[in-house]
Structure 1
Amino acid sequence: MKTVAVVGTFDTKGKEFQFVQSILQGLGVNTLMIHSGVFEPMFVPDISNQDIAQAVHEDMNDIARQKDRARATEVLARGLEVLIPKLYKEGKFDGVLSFGGSGGTSIVTPGMRALPIGVPKMMVSTVASGNVSQYVGTSDIMMYPSIVDVAGLNTISIKIFTNAALAMAGMVKHEIPEQEVEKKPLIAATMFGVTTPCVDQARAYLEAQGYEVIVFHATGAGGKTMEKLIESHYFDGVLDLTTTEWCDELVGGVLNAGPHRLEAAGRAGVPQVVSVGAIDMVNFGPYDTVPAKFQGRNLYKHNPTITLMRTTAEENGQLGKIIAEKLNNASSKTALMLPLKGVSALDAEGQPFYGAEEDRMLFDTLRQHIDATKVELIEADTHINDEAFALQAAKKLVELMQA
């Protein structure tokens, strides 16, 4: 029988969690009740708050006496981050469900994020309709808006809690049998709208060779997620053709992936083919949200919610140094491919971001700073979206993986 870990503050919201427990048990799903509140619960849980605190060598009784909400929240969050994945590895539950406000969400989601991708994890929260990146991170947590405060049972909350319990029961009880999933070597690839033709052609070739290609949209979250999965040894190879997130990190765009982008494959020893796809652009929101300091730059309305800005020659020089530094530190087999006729659909003759001078600065900087003893530098007299470039990149990755 499947089991759902139900995590929450049983001291203040005990009847809400007992309601959810009764629904799950009525559906033939066991529950593992984990109390993440500060004080004594309304019923006896399977895992106490003292168990959570002890996971990080703290005493919940001392914390309760201090009446310091910030410290209590911090300890419980750290404890669950250790305890939840430990309980999962021990086979104690198959999915995890929680309900809460901003405090409860902050306490439980670190533990959810520590679980493997694919383990059902749902957070019913009062903050689920806003920016939830701080809670979800690079995980697959499902954030479900509670609509009303998680405080009592009423006409609306009963429906929300019931739907959440039904969804969780469905996820843990219905799985694709392991034997029905064909196992293939996995390749991670990065793509943007303006590099889609390249990645699609490369993917078609790789799939024909027996690989499975997992594509990540280079929107900040995509790059972060890919890097995390690479570190977790999901992939046999990386086709990182779209490294545009570094433009946003350097210049201040909205789709940056942080300062550690382009590091994971090198650290994990995973063969990688890297290129400079969409290094010609920085991303902002709607046109009127572009910072005033960038007025007068080459701006392009990609769609009503995204405005692109052409990178300058100076910025391309800085980007070249960053990319070279990241790749030179790699311990894996690495190739860097330069598409000399343009790095995106907008960087081609006659297109809004065509910039021979900007591209030349990027390529020259990379030529100057790449350590040829560690990184194979390949120059292709093609555009990044040309079929010849895509196939050359795909074949090079296969060569590196099979070497």
Structure 2
Amino acid sequence: MSRSTSTDGAKPKVLLIGFLDTKEAEYAFVKDLLEAKGCEVFLIDASLQTDTALSKHAAHPPSAVCCAAGTSLSHLRTLPRAAALEHITAGATSIALSYQVRGSLHGALAMGGSTTTALACAVLRALRVGLPKLCVSTMASGDVSHYVGDSDICMMPSIADISGSMNVLSARILTNAAAALAGMARAYKDQPTPALGDAKHMVAVTMFGLTTLGVTVACERLRSFTDASGRRLYEPVVFHCTGAGGRTMERLVEEKWFHAVLDLTTTELADEQCGGILSAGPTRLTAPGNAGIPHVVSLGALDMCNFGPRSTVPEKYAARTLHEHNPSITLLRTSADECAAIGRTMADRLSVGHGPLAVVIPKHGWSGIDIAGGPFWDPDADRALVEELKKGLKEKGRAVEVIEVDKHVNDRDAAWVMADKLHELVGKWERSGGGA
């Protein structure tokens, strides 16, 4: 799908975001490098303490960042640090988004420790997926999931601290970072959305390891559809349902990347219900309905909740059916009560919104281990989810077609039913003007 790009001059426009009062030397160094590589650089200085020589020449000095947040620097200096950072982050985010809205932003970079990383990544997460984003951080070698979230931020270890003084090692790392950002920004400016072929519609598809067979067949089926001229109709993009995967898919639907969603795998709802490690949060299943695009939903891997190694499984589940998927993942079989609750949640979320919607229910299992003779085969638990889902959808009143297939989720026939139904819904959606 198209993305706006700047036409005012040949230089890529990039943001440098951070605290110049404690890291002026590094920011001056990288600014010079980016400009030498043909970039136009705009500094967003989020400093709360003192002005610097570089700050006085910044496109957005601290006073301007505070103004964008609806406050003043003198006021922020009276607040507790956490509160002040919340305001300055909001201001920096507002400024960054203003560049994006104007179509005059091709990349963003930040450097620092934990505070800079928290502030800068909050700003970077607000920018659209695909726009180059790089954070050089002392925190980059640890768990960065809370910094990256559902975005595509590139995290680069700084090796040495970003502390306001340059050294040979820092110079090497920051030179690499500047070169990377400059190259990505140039590529983004020249081609904000690379050509991916001639498919007419982008389709988001959800997958888990234990639904891969069904997803593969469904994607092959979608790729087989063409229009009268022979043009391929669908380009499937598969998302791994790891929590972040589901959130990212929903975010990209909101950003209008996709024309339709084949939600074959909804396993993240089980983790939300049971406290697993792969929950996608309370907005999962909502974006397609809010966007009004065709949405086919199934029950892939709702028979399981994910935990880490066996030793990490909560004690309350010790006597339950567990399956060690690999040394890092232990699966919990969802019970009838948990499945019923998941069914109600699905009905509640799917009933809100508009757009063509169908639910496909495979009657012979929802994952590679929820199959007759498999470790998670439990027809009673599966039935509890289906009954509550159907009951809830009927009570809520939204027009939803429910299709029950006498197959397993990974069977070819079930995958074809889902792909064919999505194709049908897209056609109706287009004829009604939804794809205009």
Fold match, TM over 0.5? yes
Deviation (angstroms), 1:310: 0.7
- Aligned pairs for 1:357-376 (under 5 A) are 357-371=380-394, 374-376=399-401
The answer (yes or no) to whether the contact 1:83–1:111 under 8 Å persists in 2 is no
Letter in 2 for 1:200: T
Q: How much has 1:377 moved relative to structure 2?
A: 0.8
Match of 1:19 among 29, 38, 52: 29
- Counterparts of 1:319 and 1:192 in 2: how far apart (Å)? 18
Among candidates 198, 201, 204, match of residue 188 of structure 1:
204
Shift of 1:337: 0.8
1:340-368 deviation per Cα after TM superposition (whole angstroms, max 9, x unaligned): 01111101112111112212222222233
Distance 1:319 1:8 in 2: 43
Does structure 1 retain, via aligned residues, the 8 Å contact 2:23–2:112? no
Q: Which residue among 149, 153, 159 is the counterpart of 2:172?
A: 159
C-alpha separation between the residues in 2 aligned to 1:348 and 1:235? 32
Q: How many residues align?
A: 402
How is 1:214-233 mapped onto 2 (pairs within 5 angstroms)?
214-233=237-256
Q: For the structure 1 residues 330 and 26, does the alpha-carbon distance in structure 2 shift closer, same or farther, using more than 3 Å as the test?
A: closer
Following superposition of structure 1 onto structure 2, how do residues 35-184 of structure 1 map, counting pairs within 5 Å? 35-38=45-48, 39-43=50-54, 44-64=57-77, 66=78, 68-151=80-163, 152-175=165-188, 177=191, 180-182=195-197, 184=200
The CA distance in 2 between the partners of 1:30 and 1:328, in whole Å, is: 47
Sort the Cα spacing of 1:180 and 1:359 in 2 relative to 1 into closer, same or farther, 3 A. Answer: closer
Q: Secondary structure at the match of 1:254?
A: coil
How far off its partner does 1:93 sit? 3.4
Partner in structure 1 of residue 5 of structure 2: none
Question: Over aligned residues, Cα RMSD in angstroms?
Answer: 1.7
> CA 1:298/1:113 → structure 2, altered by over 3 Å: closer, same or farther?
same
Q: Distance in 1 between matches of 2:79 and 2:366?
A: 57
TM-score (norm 1): 0.95
Q: Distance in 1 between matches of 2:139 and 2:371?
A: 43
- The CA deviation at 1:91 is 4.4
Q: Which moved more, 1:204-213 or 1:372-381?
A: 372-381
State the distance in 2 between where 1:100 and 1:2 align.
Answer: 23
1:399 aligns with 2:415: no
Label 1:291 to 1:67 Cα distance change in 2 as closer, same or farther (>3 A): closer
Q: Which residue identity is paired with 1:398?
A: H
Counterpart selection for 1:378 from 384, 394, 403: 403
What's the TM-score, normalizing by structure 2? 0.88
Alpha-carbon contact 2:111-2:117 (below 8 Å) kept: yes
Farther-moved stretch of structure 1 (197-206 vs 3-12): 3-12
Q: Match of 2:399, as an amino acid? A: K
Aligned runs of 1:211-250 on 2, under 5 Å? 211-250=234-273
Q: Distance in 1 between matches of 2:274 and 2:196?
A: 42
Q: Which residue of 2 aligns with 1:356?
A: 379
Contact 1:317 1:365 in 2 (8 A): yes
- Alpha-carbon deviation of 1:70? 2.2
Counterpart of 2:432 in structure 1 is: none
Contact 1:35 1:41 in 2 (8 A): no
- Corresponding residue number in structure 1 for 2:229: none
Given that 2:106 and 2:186 are in contact with CA atoms closer than 8 Å, whether structure 1 keeps it comes out as: no
Which ranges in structure 1 are unaligned for 5 or more consecutive residues? none
Q: Are the counterparts in 2 of residues 198 and 385 from structure 1 also a CA contact under 8 Å?
A: yes
8 A contact 2:205–2:263 mirrored in 1: yes
Tell me, what secondary structure is at the counterpart of 1:382? coil
Q: Distance in 2 between matches of 1:30 and 1:334?
A: 46
Structure 1 residues 342, 4: CA separation in 2 closer, same or farther (over 3 Å shift)? same
Question: Which of 183, 186, 203 is equivalent to 2:219?
Answer: 203
Deviations 1:174-229 (A, max 9, x none): 35746844453111111001111111111111112221111111110011111111
1:16 positional shift: 1.1
- Between the aligned partners of 2:17 and 2:40, the Cα distance in structure 1 is 14
For 1:237 and 1:144, the matched residues in 2 are separated by 34
Deviation string 1:131-175 (CA, Å, 9 cap, x unpaired) is: 222222211111112122211212322222111111111111235
1:310 aligned to 2:320? no
What is the alpha-carbon distance in structure 2 between the residues aligned to residue 369 and residue 34 of structure 1? 49
Distance 1:361 1:62, change over 3 A: closer
Residue 373 of structure 1 and its aligned partner are, at CA, apart by 5.6
Say which SS state the counterpart of residue 51 (structure 1) adopts: helix
In 2, Cα distance between equivalents of 1:276 and 1:67: 49
User: Where does the alignment leave 5 or more consecutive residues of structure 2 unmatched?
Assistant: 1-10, 226-232, 429-436
Q: Deviations over 1:236-255 (max 9, x none)?
A: 11101111101100111000
Q: Does the Cα contact within 8 Å between 1:34 and 1:47 map onto a contact in 2?
A: yes
SS in 1 for 2:26: helix
Distance 1:85 1:95 in 2: 12
Amino acid in structure 2 at the alignment position of 1:349 = A
Regions of 4+ moved over 4 Å: 178-181
SS in 2 for 1:399: helix
List per-residue Cα deviations over 1:252-301 (Å, max 9, x = no partner): 10000111211111121111110111010000001111111111211111
Deviation sequence 1:281-337 (CA, Å, 0-9, x none): 000001111111111211111111111111111111111111122222232211111
